[in-house]
Amino acid sequence: MDAVELIDQVVQVLSQAQELELSWSGHVDGEAGAVAAMRQEWEAVRGGELRMSVVAPMKAGKSTLVNAIVGYELLPARAAAMTTLPTRIVLDRRLTETELAEQGADAFRPVLDLREQDAVRFDMLVKAIRNHVAPSQAEQEQARYPHLAPLIEDILAERLPPTRSRYEGRVEVQDALTLLNDLMRLAGRVLPAGWRVALSDVPVVHTPYWAPAAGDEDGPGRLVVVDTPGPDEHDLSEMLGNIVSKQLSESHIVLVVLDYTKMGGQSDARIRQLMEPLLDVIGPDKLFAVVNKIDQKRHETDLGNEGIVRSVTANLGLSDAAAGERIYTTSAEWALASVRTLTSLKAAQHGFLPASDESSARLLKLVYPMDWQEELEDIGTGRLTRVAQRAWEFSQIDAFLASAVAHLRRSALRLAIEAALTKAVSELADLEIATTSRRDLIGRRSQDLARAVGQISDEIAEIAGFRGQVTEPAKLAERLAADMRKQLHSAREQGDKVVKKFRSDLRAAARSESTGLIDRALKTVFRKDEDALEFTSAEDAGDYIRVRTVEPKARLDTILERSRKHIELSVGASAQRLVQRESELVRPVVERAAARVKDEFDLTFTVPELDLQGSVVAETPIAPEAETRHTTVEVEREIYGRSWRTLWMWRTTYLKTVDEVTEEHAYVVAVDALADSLQKSFHTCVHEIEEALSGHVRDMVTVQVDHYYDGVEAFLQRYRGILQQSAEDNELEELMQNELRENLNVFLTTVRDLRAEVEHVRAV
């Protein structure tokens, strides 16, 4: 409670600074935004709020996992990527079984809140899209993203209603989240480079939750899940600016969701590449990991628990000691299906009919993929409950919820206090500088202040000129394209030669295997006319594919790795040249302004540094397909009846040849299909290198450089704001100036004392 009261004092001091018209904050909404953000931190501390950001590569099952944690399908999901805009989901309280029984699905009634000013910004975004989308471009985007076609039509026809600041109920909230996320995705596609959506806050959803194993022992406080776009969403980086980084840095922990089916080998390099920027923002101490889709483990040779822990530990930079407590495996799909079914059972109570319940059908499709329809017709509520409970256990999400989340909930207050105190120290430090400068500038000559304002305005214009000269991503990419195309063309040629030899060797090996040279444990038949191998089981076919592709896949990996390293070196050298060029242009201007402030007014500001991240790419695994065939056979059957043999006069027993359809399962691996699949996978990897380079250049220029210039301009504009405020102060009469100076002295003492107290509490 002492910490809560201390943070409350910080909020009051910042509010008082706002009344004194002090300029100290670089918040997108100015001083009012800074006060609101600090008040939000205070509310988080008072409520014991734990913010857990969830981040994942696209299609790793992040939304499904979040929905499983909440206990119902809150976040919209579809085949195309959904999340583009960070969203905070506040789990207010756990529903009781009585509430579920009495209210059913209506018990989950989420509320989505937007800041009023942000609702206006989304309406402005709609207008910007309408003004920038030509009919031909609209057709291209509709063809490329069919799920965005209705939205494009509504925007062009001006059919979208104004964005509201509040939406209530699951349907309204899901529709609103879909709309906002699709607007951001579309804006990232069609708006000119440099366009930003400067939101004061992200959307916030308040909702109750329910989980089978949750209870009062989870501890005080409430969990806030922050849904974030994937780190491989290059198109969104420029549009969102630093919104995602801000949410990640302000989270108490970050949960990384990884796809089990994409782990191991070269895929681990892809994970490392995607996670590097994240680690730079938050560090490894906040990281937890959930490896999703564990139900896809098919073979004993697949990556086991120890391999998973080793892979995740290496990729996320966790210590071996922390790995066991921070890495979990789940099947979010099974968890969501089971919790939805259990919720339906508790909500319906008497008269529940599984056959008419969509959640029961979804669960049984997972549990009984071959016979789910028969099971759905025959199953009773008692057995359905047991199946759902076993599915919940099989999903392994209970271990995560009971251990990780429960532990973190118990730690929520301490973590929230640490975050709030850190933010408070930063705000008070900036406020102390602003207060000191305004006090010391009182009584200075108006001509000097006016000249300084003019100088800083000229420097801001000069910085803007430098910013306008920054090479556009397309132009920088074009400079690299010639060398890149040469390198990748060479890689393609080398890879195609490997595949050609693989195809020839595979055909020769297949023919020899028909004479018995293959491992006799694999029951196979060679189809000479088709150049294909037929197996009696899917497992044998899969083993054959894995064995035969090991050597050529390793050679293709080597080719890709060589090309990757060459391109990385080329891009890295270009990045270094860009850093040096921009620093040489900007730094003298900023240092000149900083030196002038220090020399004339005894103030020192920190000069922002330019920080660029590298980029690494990796291939995707090969997934050749197998076929299934059916056969028809002639069999002799003993028939008892009339026939021509007895002139149809009496019954007798005789043999008759009949056609009998036999459903014979055969798994076929065609030589050309396997070679083509390997070649296609390799070409896809080469294309991914090209796309990754484009994404890296776009991030490097439009995001990192923009952030750098944003920081420089914020520094200069704040300095100019102080000077302008001081010029106004010096227009006052001398008596009022003395009174203002005294008030600022008193306030400065308050700020310094409060800052010292906050730093002391934070250190303890």
Please write the tens of the pLDDT for every residue from 80-127: 566 778 899 998 888 888 888 888 778 889 999 998 889 998 999 999
* Amino acid 203: pLDDT: 93
H helix or E strand, kind and range, residue 256: strand 253-259
Q: What is the pLDDT of residue 97?
A: 81
pLDDT at 693 over 90: no
pLDDT band for 11, please (50, 70, 90 cuts): very high
Q: How far apart are CA 566 and CA 623, in angstroms?
A: 27
Closest by CA position to 181, among listed 273, 277, 63, 92? 63
Joined together, the tokens standing for residue 348 give: 């319906």
Which range is least confidently modeled, 290-299, 476-485, 564-573?
A: 476-485
Which is it for the CA torsion 710, 426, 282, 33, positive or negative?
negative
Pairing of strands 627-628, 667-670: antiparallel
Q: Helix or strand or coil: residue 431?
A: helix
Give residue 478's pLDDT band: very low, low, confident or very high (50, 70, 90): low
In terms of Cα–Cα distance, which of 702, 630, 699 is closest to 660?
630
Q: What are phi and psi of 480, to 5 degrees?
A: -85, -15
Mean pLDDT of the residues in the chain: 77
Q: Distance (Å, rounded) from C-alpha 698 to C-alpha 685?
A: 20
Average pLDDT, integer, range 215-234? 68
Q: Which of 517-526, 603-612, 617-626 has the highest mean pLDDT?
A: 517-526
Closest CA to 164 of 120, 129, 204, 127: 120
Three-state DSSP state, 264: coil
How many residues does this entry show for the chain? 764
Sequence-separated contacts (24+) of 26-33 with Cβ below 8 Å: 26/430, 26/714, 26/718, 27/200, 28/198, 28/199, 28/200, 29/117, 29/200, 33/200
Report whether pLDDT(369) > 70. Answer: yes
pLDDT grade for 615, boundaries at 50, 70 and 90: very low
Residue 302: phi and psi, rounded to 5, are -65, 160
Q: How confident is the model at residue 477 (pLDDT cuts 50, 70, 90)?
A: low
pLDDT of 422 above 90: no
Amino acid at residue number 12: Q
pLDDT value at position 617? Answer: 32
Q: d(Cα 39, Cα 10) in Å, to the nearest integer?
A: 9
pLDDT confidence bin for 217, thresholds 50/70/90: very low
The region of weakest confidence among 356-370, 398-412, 484-498 is 398-412
Instruction: State pLDDT tens for residues 330-351.
Output: 999 999 999 989 888 887 765 6
Sign of CA dihedral 141, 230, 194, 202: positive
Q: Count Cβ atoms below 10 Å from residue 71 Cβ, excluding itself.
A: 25
Q: Which of 158-172, 256-270, 629-643 has the highest mean pLDDT?
A: 158-172
Q: What is the pLDDT of residues 501-510, one digit of tens each?
A: 988 888 887 7
Whether residue 727 contacts residue 720, with contact meaning beta carbons closer than 8 Å, is answered with no
Which of these, 458, 466, 688, 707, lies nearest to 592 by C-alpha position?
Answer: 458
665/627 Cα distance (integer angstroms): 9
Among 231-245, 247-261, 477-491, 660-674, the least confident range: 231-245
Q: What percent of the chain has pLDDT over 90?
A: 14
Nearest to 180 by CA among 103, 110, 240: 240
Quote the pLDDT of residue 457: 86
Q: What angle do CA 514, 517, 518 make, to 5 degrees?
A: 80
The C-alpha angle 605, 243, 311, rounded to 5 degrees, equals 105
Cα-Cα-Cα-Cα dihedral sign, residues 367, 70, 151, 235: negative
Pairwise pLDDT comparison (439 vs 241), residue with the higher score: 439
pLDDT at 577 (0 to 100): 67
Q: Is the pLDDT of residue 1 over 60?
A: yes
Alpha carbon distance, N-terminus to C-terminus of the chain: 15
pLDDT class of 516 with cuts at 50, 70, 90: very low
Do 428 and 755 contact (CB within 8 A), yes or no? yes
Whether the Cβ atoms of residue 690 and residue 489 lie closer than 8 Å to each other: no
Whole-number Å distance between alpha carbons of 764 and 757? 11
Confidence of residue 608 (pLDDT cuts 50, 70, 90): very low
* Phi, psi dihedral angles at 49 (to 5 degrees): -80, 130
Secondary structure class of 606 (helix, strand, coil)? coil
pLDDT band at 277 (very low <50, low <70, confident <90, very high): low
Q: What is the pLDDT of residues 726-750, one digit of tens each?
A: 888 888 888 888 888 899 999 999 9
- Distance, CA of 520 to CA of 517 (rounded, Å): 8
User: From the CB of residue 705, how many other CB atoms can be counted at a distance below 10 Å?
Assistant: 20
In DSSP terms, which residues pair with 206 in a beta bridge? Answer: 90, 111
Mean pLDDT of the 241-267 span:
75
CA separation for the pair 4, 15 (Å, rounded): 17
Q: Are strands 253-259 and 49-55 parallel, antiparallel or unpaired?
A: parallel
Q: Average pLDDT in the 542-568 region?
A: 80
Whether the CA torsion 680, 682, 684, 687 is positive or negative: it is negative
